[in-house]
Structure 1
């Protein structure tokens, strides 16, 4: 027997993280912020419990409104009427402030072509979607879902009549294609994703009809809906089967596929296929997003135009999005981006807008005709120091794997000075921990080893036997070499170069040489994956609800300090370093949490993970993350004042960017 799940998960239920704790009917129309549904008389929605409405005659007036540019295309015979482009029951989005005006160009800046983030943090659409502050999960592509009483089987309902941007139906066949022909294809997916493995067995996905899918797990999966709304659930929705089959070896004509591979300059079919679903780079792929890329990925500006078949409306029946197009101008790095944003060259942006520039933004906001919002973060910190525990240098590896070394680095860090110099005095010392509003926050772990105590730091290093020093006062390794770490960082998200400069001086006082160097992001990723870094830095992610993905606490994915152990975990032992000891124990506890339904037991198990992190200090936090600055033109509306910024809900896409609008006549 199955029970009907709600279409939104409330704060209480969300914090319980049990995806199948609540049952009941689900309302179709949900607000952008996860608030109350749209008014009953909204023209967009038929009664979800009633029969399908009869087809209207061609002469009947439309139930919906559309952008003038689309109405003109309909009149010219270039598009079908809006009623035919929308699903039977479009998703109704309640605007943050008011019903918007159609039209306008949203101007943004990007540091590279792929930095446009289209389909991710800009206009991203998940199967289910977190609301603006991460406290609810709402329906999105999935109209509703049911969960079996034992928590092992999830039945999802798509939106009948929903279409891809080329007008073709969006159906269960597309999601099934991703499962059968991407996830189960070893060329494309050498190791099945662990977030879809529970009780040691991968999920089994079946098509029940054109708009219904069943996900069946071997054991209860209490966290599944939470994870489905995160960045890991994103890929399921974006694979357009009728387009992608021409590049897939199971469907493509062999000669045509070979010709396309030759033209692309690749050796294997999966190299060609892998580039095709990317909405950031490929303007040819049909999408289900509010805007579709319409220029080649190397263009400047890069342009995305509205999707005429987008499947959402506002409460008055206006098809979304309101804005006609997004333009990205390319800039040379974070500093130039911030300078141009200060001068008023963006309409709305938070990507690469850094907190250290807030005084300049505030000083120039009247001249630039913009306002500055400060959003809370779902990240506990924007600076995590990742020591490489599997360093190729065997001497340095042994030093780093000694927790006393990690204790010393943390105690030798003057976080108060960093707070004042970099964060304008607005942060607090912290390790990598759940955020204070998380149900699993534990203060002893959060503040452990965050005091500035160079004497104690030196004592730990002496205890390790690192007592010999060179003429400049730096400690010597057991092999007689100077004790040095190369600190590599990418200058994009935070003032990591400034922090490196401060740490160079602070750690010299405990006898450690820090050599900092700024490198390109792609090179950073390559060196990280190749196990070539000594010390890297990145922001944390998802600590507001670590049950989504505990990357900061368990080496399952993107844990840079323990990345090689994550490779082992995700490859089934084919790659990386085999985890042992407390690292293995943390992984085993996480696997137990995935199948644990009781909320108190989940929290108790996660406390054990935090205890292991506190004892081992696998990675080192600096300070709590400052608020995320958001620069918004005064004529650019429906941007919430109280959004949350974090990777997992793909912020700011979770604020329903499709309902942003440019107030007519004021965009000057």
Structure 2
């Protein structure tokens, strides 16, 4: 089978010469001083030309500063998420389209020919060519010091590693020994595996291109232990924390780290142009403020954000709507949430305590915990009854939704839950009614949280009361997000709370790996995920039959391209999760509030808020948003 895929929203124009590309006012001074090429010479020979009207949007104009907020300095990486410039990306219908690539060919599901855009340049004006892929493949992915575990998952089909060749400056061929249906979708992720690097910039930090003597001064100045840590420190395309690292995103960093106000300015060499010749992005500057997590709603209510969803929860809707009614200059949209669960509890099957580990691994314990949750009370108290109560499973918008999976072991039933715990032999209780573990310790079930969402703490407070009727004492421990993740990954966390699966609307073509123990970030089995990700170099091998079956099913999905077979695999995997309660979902589909400035245009009123696929705002193309009144939108420095 041979197929060619082209980007959506394109006009059939072979070259940028067929439209008149307007100069950006933002860069006009640099162009006048001949410090930068004119706009027609800055874009690729074949740019991605976006027909806004065909997409049901309006053409805009350049200018303005968009204000948004994050709650951690690390979250400047959201600019890579929101910008969503990918080799291949999803459109708003969640169909894959070429983006940075001019197009791509797929042959037999295993050979991918990537066609670059001639004339495409990095944000510093250097050419973007196949040499940037070669640098990554030959000098990063296959360098034992930079990639000690070998090439990453993106270049693997099962246990077999693919190859990457470079026929010419604008062609890259990625070939696998067998079909790899996950390759293109991996490229479209919110946090993508960057299989290219700005070679012209990074060569100066690589030992293959310099002597160690030449690099010693740089190593000392950056206070790192060697050339590899130096390279890694400066090379993170996703972190977006090195303002000198060239990018292909619509905006590029213009601030150094350590500041509470970060600026990102328009990329003068961005590859997208609207059908009227206006170089995208429309917005000149993004101003990202780092604020305390409890201040996002209040600041949004005060009109201090032009586009905001991160840091807002459903509980904030009332104060946002009140501010809107009182004349604050914004609108509050309610977007559909595509996560499989708003709140999910993950008992750690790899917990280091052997006594607790044995209890947690008994499915009757996890089922009892689930049946001891009054989801209806939580829904009414926190979401005005607008959430869908039940397990973490495929949402109603997915063809794999089954009501049985939603409700299995998820109906509030304290009597049955108590019987299950009794059947486990956990019948002895202390004077306060708390059950005792086999070694005599009270059943104090510690759930650690990231401490970022009040709704999580409120839900756990309700669960604390109902679990006490099971003889289980819930102890909630809020932590910093990074500390939480590190504790989970090391096996010292008994249980954690996080969102459910990012993609709650899977289709037959959606890889089901996130349902199998393939990644440590699924908090129920971090050690199994580490073992899979490092090919046995770290973590623990999977030693529970149902989890082993999930791994086998994920491999079967990959080996059988027929949609019927893949749908069958999905249904069995979802049924296993519903039965085993590896992650205990509470409810889903509660709307996500999105604050949008009255002056901001092309933001969909009824969008989807999804991490993957979707990249939150990314799939809705923030580079196409614009201010209706540039003078009002422009923030004076």
Same fold (TM over 0.5): yes
Question: Separation in 1 of the partners of 2:36 and 2:357?
Answer: 62
Q: 2:31 aligns with which of 74, 84, 109?
A: 74
Aligned counterpart, 1:91: 48
State how 1:184-263 maps to structure 2 within 5 Å: 184-191=142-149, 192-231=151-190, 233-237=192-196, 239-263=197-221
Q: 1:569 aligns with which of 529, 532, 536?
A: 532
CA contact (8 A) 1:112 1:331 kept: yes
CA contact (8 A) 1:628 1:645 kept: yes
Aligned counterpart, 1:599: 563
Tell me how far 1:550 sits from its aligned partner: 3.4
Aligned counterpart, 1:21: none
Question: Separation in 1 of the partners of 2:581 and 2:46?
Answer: 50
Question: Separation in 2 of the partners of 1:377 and 1:186?
Answer: 41
Q: 2:357 aligns with which of 369, 393, 397?
A: 397
Question: Separation in 2 of the partners of 1:594 and 1:357?
Answer: 42
Tell me how far 1:286 sits from its aligned partner: 0.6
Structure 1 position 519 matched with structure 2 position 519: no
Structure 1 position 646 matched with structure 2 position 605: no
> Any idea what the Cα deviations from partners look like across 1:211-234, whole Å, max 9, x if unmatched?
111111111223432332123644
Distance 1:371 1:457, change over 3 A: same
Aligned counterpart, 1:34: none
Question: Separation in 2 of the partners of 1:597 and 1:111?
Answer: 42
CA contact (8 A) 1:542 1:550 kept: no
Aligned length: 621
1:376 is paired with a residue whose SS is: strand
Structure 1 position 583 matched with structure 2 position 547: yes
Aligned counterpart, 1:57: none
Distance 1:424 1:176, change over 3 A: farther
State how 1:318-467 maps to structure 2 within 5 Å: 318-333=278-293, 335-366=294-325, 367-467=327-427
Tell me how far 1:528 sits from its aligned partner: 1.6
Structure 1 position 661 matched with structure 2 position 626: yes
1:120 is paired with a residue whose SS is: helix
CA contact (8 A) 1:133 1:642 kept: no
Structure 1 position 479 matched with structure 2 position 439: yes
> Any idea what the Cα deviations from partners look like across 1:638-659, whole Å, max 9, x if unmatched?
1112322212231211111111
Aligned counterpart, 2:135: 177
Distance 1:493 1:528, change over 3 A: same
Question: Separation in 2 of the partners of 1:490 and 1:388?
Answer: 16
> Any idea what the Cα deviations from partners look like across 1:399-456, whole Å, max 9, x if unmatched?
0000000000000000001101112211121212122222322332222111000111
Distance 1:232 1:636, change over 3 A: closer
Tell me how far 1:259 sits from its aligned partner: 2.0
Distance 1:408 1:195, change over 3 A: farther
> Any idea what the Cα deviations from partners look like across 1:61-88, whole Å, max 9, x if unmatched?
x821022121232112121111111100
> Any idea what the Cα deviations from partners look like across 1:502-543, whole Å, max 9, x if unmatched?
111111110111110211112112212211111111112112
> Any idea what the Cα deviations from partners look like across 1:109-160, whole Å, max 9, x if unmatched?
12122212344322131111111342x1121011111111x22211110111
Aligned counterpart, 2:512: 550
Tell me how far 1:544 sits from its aligned partner: 1.4
1:122 is paired with a residue whose SS is: helix
Tell me how far 1:89 sits from its aligned partner: 1.0
Question: Separation in 2 of the partners of 1:430 and 1:256?
Answer: 60
Question: Separation in 2 of the partners of 1:585 and 1:157?
Answer: 39
- Bigger mean CA deviation after superposition, 83-92 or 221-230: 221-230
1:235 is paired with a residue whose SS is: coil
Question: Separation in 1 of the partners of 2:214 and 2:447?
Answer: 47
Aligned counterpart, 1:295: 255
Structure 1 position 635 matched with structure 2 position 599: yes
Question: Separation in 2 of the partners of 1:584 and 1:433?
Answer: 19
Q: 1:110 aligns with which of 67, 70, 79?
A: 70
CA contact (8 A) 1:382 1:494 kept: no
Tell me how far 1:276 sits from its aligned partner: 1.5
Tell me how far 1:105 sits from its aligned partner: 0.8
TM-score between the two structures when normalised by the length of structure 2 = 0.93
Tell me how far 1:612 sits from its aligned partner: 2.2
Q: What is the alpha-carbon root mean square deviation over aligned residues?
A: 2.0
Question: Separation in 2 of the partners of 1:140 and 1:604?
Answer: 32
TM-score between the two structures when normalised by the length of structure 1 = 0.89
Tell me how far 1:398 sits from its aligned partner: 0.4
CA contact (8 A) 1:122 1:657 kept: yes
Tell me how far 1:551 sits from its aligned partner: 5.5
> Any idea what the Cα deviations from partners look like across 1:16-43, whole Å, max 9, x if unmatched?
xxxxxxxxxxxxxx32xxxxx44x6xxx
Distance 1:232 1:542, change over 3 A: same
Distance 1:529 1:270, change over 3 A: farther
1:460 is paired with a residue whose SS is: helix
State how 1:488-499 maps to structure 2 within 5 Å: 488-492=448-452, 495-499=455-459
Aligned counterpart, 2:585: 621
**Unmatched tracts of structure 2, length 5 or more:** none
- Bigger mean CA deviation after superposition, 251-260 or 632-641: 251-260
Distance 1:548 1:352, change over 3 A: farther
CA contact (8 A) 1:155 1:215 kept: yes
> Any idea what the Cα deviations from partners look like across 1:243-297, whole Å, max 9, x if unmatched?
1122222223312322222222221322222222335211110111111111112
CA contact (8 A) 2:512 2:570 kept: no
Question: Separation in 1 of the partners of 2:412 and 2:220?
Answer: 59
2:388 is paired with a residue whose SS is: coil
Tell me how far 1:195 sits from its aligned partner: 4.4
2:477 is paired with a residue whose SS is: strand
Question: Separation in 1 of the partners of 2:616 and 2:396?
Answer: 20
